[in-house]
Amino acid sequence: MTTPVTTHATHRHYLMCRPTYFAVEYTINPWMDPTRPVDRDLAIAQWDNLRQTYQRLGHTVDTIEPLPGLPDMVFAANGATVIDGRALAVQFREPQRADEAPAYRGWLERAGFDVHDAKHINEGEGDLLLVGDYVLAGTGFRTSHSEHAHVQEVFGRPVVTLQLVDPCFYHLDTALAVIDERTIAYLPEAFSPGSQAVLRRLFPDAIHATWADAAAFGLNAVSDGRHVVLPVQAEALTAALRERGYQPVGVDLSELRKAGGGPKCCTLELRGARR
């Protein structure tokens, strides 16, 4: 049995986008099926519960105005990466999401962040996750490997490239969750053998998720270092987190999962000072 750790919550600042125009109108990941009915009112209610959950935990939540014709704009994590007051804007691979990029860039500029443009395909915190001093950077399906060098130049932090190999987990934040500065949870088989070896070396005490929990978007979690907000359907991962001394907070985002999203997809963390 793993010895529980002493956990500490830290205040977080998030940006979210209400799913006012949420729909599944196209297929850009394996979870999307335009023939499957979507209940927009339920999606809004589930999203609002997530927002209120963050607020109950003491965190600050800002919102960006949703735009018609952009049904995936609710997935704010893809809108940028923000570290130390610097924001790296995005460049989407899929044309259906292209107009989200200037909307998020404009919001961050108006909010006073130092915004840098992407040089290659870059889908924000979907593929760029800060853990301690490192940026874990996913590639293989969305964010270009060529962008990883630019990420290092913008943020001045070591970047660790991780190769994703399962199309069901096309963004890093669907296959790996940052729990605190030393701890991650991940699905080993979502990564190439070399990337698995890197993760074992960097995080020997990591939590290994099951495929079923990953498919429930359990790894698409948001942690403040103590409370871990994740889909209530990820039962084994919830138990593993509790055993380690963390406090899982279950939410139901089953309607948004029809577009391939969970709590982290809906949540962009705003780190550091503004101008």
For residue 85, what are the CA distances in angstroms to 80, 102, 130?
12, 18, 13
Q: Which DSSP symbol is given to 132?
A: T
Sheet architecture: strand order including 134-139: 128-131, 134-139, 159-163
CA 163 to CA 116: how far, in whole Å?
Answer: 25
Question: Which residue among the candidates 59, 148, 265, 266 is catalytic per the annotation?
Answer: 265
- Gap between the Cα atoms of 163 and 165, Å rounded: 6
Active site annotation includes 59: no
CB atoms within 10 A of CB 263: 27
Catalytic member of 171, 208, 227, 266: 171
Q: How far is CA 156 from the centre of its chain?
A: 21
* Catalytic status, residue 148: no
Is residue 152 within 8 A of residue 11, CB to CB? The reply is no
Residues in a beta bridge with 88 = 81, 116
Read off the tokens for 177. Answer: 């969750």
For CA atoms 7, 129, 27, 14, the dihedral sign is positive
Active site residues: 171, 265
